Amino acid sequence: MSFLASLATCEINKYAPVVPENEDSPAEDSPAVEAVVENKDNPVADGHDTAAENKEDNPSIEDKGNPVRDPAEVREPDYPVVHLSVPDVSASVSASVSASTKQVVLLPADDTHPGFAGAFDVSLAVEALSWDKTGEVVLDFETTSLTPWVETEAPGASTRIGGKTVKQLQKSGASFSSKSRARILTISVPSVNYRAAFDLDRLSDDDKIALAEALTGKIWVGHNLGFDYSWMLSLSPHCRPDRIVDTMLLTTACRPTALLEMQDAVIRHLLIADTGRKHIEDMHNYLRERAARKKDEKDEGAMPLKALSLWLLDEKLDKRYQSPHNWMLDRLTSEHLDYCLGDVDSPRTIARRLLGLPDDADIQQVLAAIDHSQGGEAYKTFESALHVLVRMQHKGIYWSHEAADALDADLAKESNDLAEKLKAIAPILADPVEIPQKPTKKNPNPAPQILIPLDALQDPSQGLSAPLKAAIAEAIYSETGRRVPESEDGQPVLDAKTLAFEYPDSKVVSAFSDLRSTAKTRSMIDKYAAHARLSADSRLHPLTGISTVTGRTSSQEPALQQVPRDPRFRAIFAAPPGHKILATDFSSIELRIAAALGVRAWRELQAIVALASGSKSPDDLRARVQHRNIQWLFRTYPELLTFLQSGNPDEPIPESLQDAQMPERGAPVEEWGRHIAAELAKWVYKIRVISGGDEARLSFRSAYEHGIDPHLLTAVAMQSRAGNIDLGGKSPVEYMRSLSSNEQKELKSKFKSARQAAKAVNFGALYGQQPAGLHRYGVTGYGLTWTVEDAVAAHQSWFELYPEIGLWHWLLKYAHKVKAHIFSPRNFEEPLRPEDGGKFYAWYTLSGRKTVSPVVTEAANFEDQGTGAEIALRAIVMLPQDVQDMLVNFIHDELVFEVPEHRVDEVRDIVERTMIAAADSLLMKYGIPTEVESAVGDCWIH
């Protein structure tokens, strides 16, 4: 079972959980396995659609740095899947260049100085790369912008460049060029002890191509290499590595507990014993910052290099040269050189420690550890997808300036009409507002600035300033008599969801939201058009990367995954002459994955029960840890095990477990135990009633196997519960199966509004949302005008229909609970020890990649959306090369292609078959089929 077991520092289990020899070691009365927080190998957790734009967690050119090394002991939470020991950081790492401020020295602008490498050194680099027999090369780019297709500005006179200002450097003869370009390429070839930082401004195009081609076929090591790969293609479009060892993707796929292990290190240092770390407070601050940002983000960003350095190397990154403007100088300084060379090999060490390998492990051991790790399959999908995504960026998607101008003109007219409507409802917004200005020496009594709120709301270039927010809040108060909720800093909260929920009947809110939405759309047009004008071919070239903890992609410069679904906006993305736009997406993929997760939960419970009954089948091995977590229930309530062992669908729930209500906070453990046991019995009973214990008859699986619309199915169940439809004694699935396709279409039309409500319930209840949250979600996300009581009834109806999802949630919460030292998810200043309720929830995506989160709903979300990310990325990897080259945009579960007209039918067939095959590779083993939907046109019409 173990991989590289001969290594004294590492023991990694491939697939099955680690099962201690003594199965009775946990405390007999403990409902969960106590986790000894030590190192192991696993993957991390994510949320929804929009990617974090914050540069600390959303990888960009600023996620590079120069750490200063200090030895430290690295510890992490015990995890019931993999155990390993990270080597002492002092064992094989020498001290790097000191981060202390030095005298800034401008390097001479010629090709002979011993600083940055130039044209003279290219042949030596090529020779060094040819000498290398391992294939391992560490590389890193420093650039003047995020992508080659953005407009940059030269730094101002007071801007800091390392330890000096621009004005000070200009006095020394320096000048600046804001041209968007790759400035420095730093490479390290460890096997021949070669390192060099090339000043690309001093190289010819031929020299750059020679460097890029010498790197082709090598194993690239670095952090956020999708960024570096993209810039490498700007040197030579044919450059391609053999393998990619990316510490950002490695953390996402193979070490999901990274964030929790950092928390453990901080808590142990603060509460248990001084661990000798030099930068423990910096790590604590990073965790605080990340937790604060997460409140406003749907999807957590992947682990940045600065966090990995703090955790695994006990090093704090030198951030003085991270910003793009630092690389606009015509002559760089010796400090720039120190920054580039000082720690170019850090990702190499971090990669090995993430995998529990010695720092001096050779690259083949690293690749073998990745391939055999629990997240290895997902990692190889991510790795292969990078090749496609960076080439997609370089191709870009065409932008029609004519269509954009026409839409902007239409929106300007709509904006004027909406402004007049809002003025009639709230005339106060047309009144001028005086904004006091700050006095200066030259103007001690400045005239106030005059703001007309209505004009500002129409201006696509303006945001919501504090005075404008105050004016809008006052208008809402004048109409409703209720104050607008305020944020922690005292500002009115005016986001669309909050206003929709708080003021569902407000005319001011409705008109304001429409006007603001129009302004935002016009602002997006302006931003996209500006990007397209910088491209010689009028295309947008966003940097699309796998930069969230779930593995879902995000895009930057511009954010092309947030394009409005308004057909008028999508029409701007036109096909060039002789081509068509093909857009294909997975049909209800989140719900299909949930159906598979429900089947998997039912199978796991059968394995747990078989193990508890004395079975020693190999199939039970993966259930052993889960069995140990809940065996106390079987000991305390033997009637529960007897009930679970019975396959009789008519077997009633044991009387002792009936009507066990949710205990009050602080209730005795016995009451909680009875409630937990009763919940499990309830889900099993409901599953048996619906399916007779046959997984093929589980509602979700059965719906998809028979081509039933899941939203309509949910609507029928809700309407039946409300007495609005007679199912004739049939279950909702049986009723839908009895209808012809025409009858189903008629029903869909009849229950149009009910089906819309069903969408909110399907996607809300799926991850464990409770009725109050479901009510808010329905109002803000789907415009429902329902009550909390309606949401309660819908919630109950949904779990009556899909009890396998209730079982999935139960197993996640109780059988997959791991105790650990973590900070409270609700109050990040509160450290929780295992005995005080510190816990997280761990399972897998359907590929076997570990998922962890301290919040149950997030853990469920991660399993589903993490699987979805893997399926979509598998699809683009599986496409033939010529079809990959047609890809122009990738949005989670939708692929957009620019296809020659004469190949449309052929390519559509290839894309659809490939996407279905990618999904089938993970879903069909649970009996869940996949469908995709395509749209072809002269523009993006999906």
pLDDT reported for residue 119: 86
566 token code pair: 């308004």
d(CA 33, CA 817): 8
Q: Where are the domains of the chain?
A: 57-285+301-361, 408-523, 592-864
925 token code pair: 């083993």
d(CA 630, CA 617): 19
d(CA 833, CA 337): 44
Asked if 782 and 759 touch (Cβ cutoff 8 Å), the reply is yes
pLDDT digits (tens, 9 = 90+) for 696-712: 999 999 999 999 999 99
Asked if 894 and 940 touch (Cβ cutoff 8 Å), the reply is no
50 vs 170: which has the higher pLDDT: 170
pLDDT exceeds cutoff 60 at 98: no
pLDDT reported for residue 659: 81
pLDDT reported for residue 763: 94
d(CA 515, CA 496): 12
Q: For the chain, how are helix, strand and coil distributed in percent, rounded to 5?
A: 50, 15, 40
Asked if 500 and 783 touch (Cβ cutoff 8 Å), the reply is yes
pLDDT reported for residue 71: 32
Asked if 78 and 38 touch (Cβ cutoff 8 Å), the reply is yes
d(CA 137, CA 187): 7
Average pLDDT of the chain is 86
φ and ψ at residue 164, rounded to 5 degrees: -125, 165
18 vs 841: which has the higher pLDDT: 841
pLDDT reported for residue 660: 81
Which pLDDT band holds residue 76 (cuts at 50, 70, 90)? very low
Range name among 202-211, 417-426, 483-492 with the lowest pLDDT average = 483-492
pLDDT exceeds cutoff 80 at 64: no
Cβ atoms < 10 Å from Cβ of 165: 16
pLDDT reported for residue 716: 94
Which pLDDT band holds residue 613 (cuts at 50, 70, 90)? confident
pLDDT reported for residue 664: 85
Which pLDDT band holds residue 299 (cuts at 50, 70, 90)? low
63 vs 303: which has the higher pLDDT: 303
15 vs 320: which has the higher pLDDT: 320
Range name among 511-520, 608-617, 746-755, 816-825 with the lowest pLDDT average = 608-617
Looking at the DSSP bridge assignments, the partners of residue 756 are: none
pLDDT digits (tens, 9 = 90+) for 447-456: 989 999 999 9
pLDDT reported for residue 85: 29
pLDDT reported for residue 620: 56
Q: What is the DSSP string of 834-894?
A: GGGT-EEEEEE-TTS-EEEESSHHHHHHHHHHHHHHHHHHHHHHHS-HHHHTTEEEEETTE
Which pLDDT band holds residue 63 (cuts at 50, 70, 90)? very low
Asked if 313 and 349 touch (Cβ cutoff 8 Å), the reply is yes
DSSP 309: I
Asked if 264 and 76 touch (Cβ cutoff 8 Å), the reply is yes
Looking at the DSSP bridge assignments, the partners of residue 246 are: 222
615-633 average pLDDT score: 77
d(CA 49, CA 51): 7
Q: Comparing C-alpha atoms, which of 552, 629, 654, 545 is closest to residue 593?
A: 552
| CA angle (640, 644, 649) in 5-degree steps | 120
Rg (CA), the chain: 29
With pLDDT > 90 as the criterion, what percentage of the chain qualifies? 72
Range name among 24-33, 337-346, 673-682, 690-699 with the lowest pLDDT average = 24-33
pLDDT reported for residue 647: 83
pLDDT exceeds cutoff 50 at 402: yes
Residues in the chain: 942
pLDDT reported for residue 616: 61
pLDDT reported for residue 296: 53
pLDDT digits (tens, 9 = 90+) for 578-598: 999 999 999 999 999 999 999
φ and ψ at residue 452, rounded to 5 degrees: -105, 105
Range name among 94-98, 351-355, 678-682, 761-765 with the lowest pLDDT average = 94-98
Which pLDDT band holds residue 441 (cuts at 50, 70, 90)? confident
Across 98-122, b (16+ Cβ under 10 Å) vs e yields ebeeeebebbeeeeeeebbbbbebb
We find that the CATH architecture of domain 57-285+301-361 is 2-Layer Sandwich (3.30)
pLDDT reported for residue 661: 83
938 token code pair: 């002269």
> In the Cβ-directed half-sphere of 785, how many Cα atoms lie within 13 Å?
4
pLDDT digits (tens, 9 = 90+) for 142-158: 999 999 999 888 899 99
Asked if 174 and 329 touch (Cβ cutoff 8 Å), the reply is yes
911 vs 116: which has the higher pLDDT: 911
14 exposure class (CB count in 10 Å sphere: 0-12, 13-18, 19+):
middle
Looking at the DSSP bridge assignments, the partners of residue 546 are: 553
Asked if 324 and 141 touch (Cβ cutoff 8 Å), the reply is no
871 token code pair: 């399926």
Helix ranges (H only) for 18-171 are 119-131, 166-171
Q: Is the dihedral of CA 705, 706, 707, 710 positive or negative?
A: negative
Range name among 242-246, 276-280, 533-537, 709-713 with the lowest pLDDT average = 533-537
Which pLDDT band holds residue 298 (cuts at 50, 70, 90)? low
Range name among 260-274, 288-302, 385-399 with the lowest pLDDT average = 288-302
Range name among 61-70, 639-648, 684-693 with the lowest pLDDT average = 61-70
pLDDT exceeds cutoff 70 at 5: no
pLDDT digits (tens, 9 = 90+) for 709-764: 999 999 999 999 888 999 999 999 999 999 999 999 999 999 999 999 999 999 99
Which pLDDT band holds residue 293 (cuts at 50, 70, 90)? confident
Residue 179 identity (one-letter amino acid): K
* Most confident of the following: 225-234, 294-303, 777-786, 828-837: 225-234
653 token code pair: 């729930």
d(CA 60, CA 55): 6
With pLDDT > 70 as the criterion, what percentage of the chain qualifies? 87
pLDDT reported for residue 173: 86
pLDDT digits (tens, 9 = 90+) for 776-818: 999 998 988 899 999 999 999 999 999 999 999 999 999 999 9
Which pLDDT band holds residue 18 (cuts at 50, 70, 90)? very low
pLDDT exceeds cutoff 60 at 774: yes
Q: Can you tell me whether residue 40 is helix, strand or coil?
A: coil
Asked if 818 and 839 touch (Cβ cutoff 8 Å), the reply is yes
